[in-house]
Amino acid sequence: MTMLAPIAPGLWTDEAEPRLIGGRRGDGEIVFPVPSGDAATLVEPVALSRCGTLWSWTTQGFEPKEPYSGPQPFQPFLIGYVELPGEVIVETRIVDAAPADLAIGMPMTFAVVAFDDRRSTYAFRPERQP
């Protein structure tokens, strides 16, 4: 994939195998995304696991309300929650899968994917089995 600008700064690390960046609060709780402004006080950035399990999912079959700025014409997509064990549950797009491919609890892997022709975003895909 051609390097596209991230849809927002600070979402993932700049590594060969990037990871989402969460925030660890003073009480140890991890959140995603990292809060900004006053909410970021005493929050330490932390690289999250690349692998998790599918917690729940659905199909986004209609164009979201404004300010949706995704690809046009709108194409339905999969969206779900992936649990990063011991860390946080992340809301995410799911790529490289059809609804029939998905099962709650299945292993998922982090990916950076094109959002439109200018920007990239994060997603998770079913883990490829060797």
pLDDT at 37 over 90: no
The first and second tokens of residue 48, run together, are 């999250």
Q: What's the one-letter identity of residue 13?
A: T
The first and second tokens of residue 23, run together, are 């925030």
CA–CA separation, 68 vs 12, rounded Å?
A: 21
Q: Residues 44-63: pLDDT tens digits? A: 999 999 999 999 999 998 88
Global confidence as pTM: 0.88
pLDDT score recorded for residue 38: 85
Average pLDDT in the chain:
90
pLDDT score recorded for residue 129: 58
Residue ranges covered by each domain of the chain: 5-126
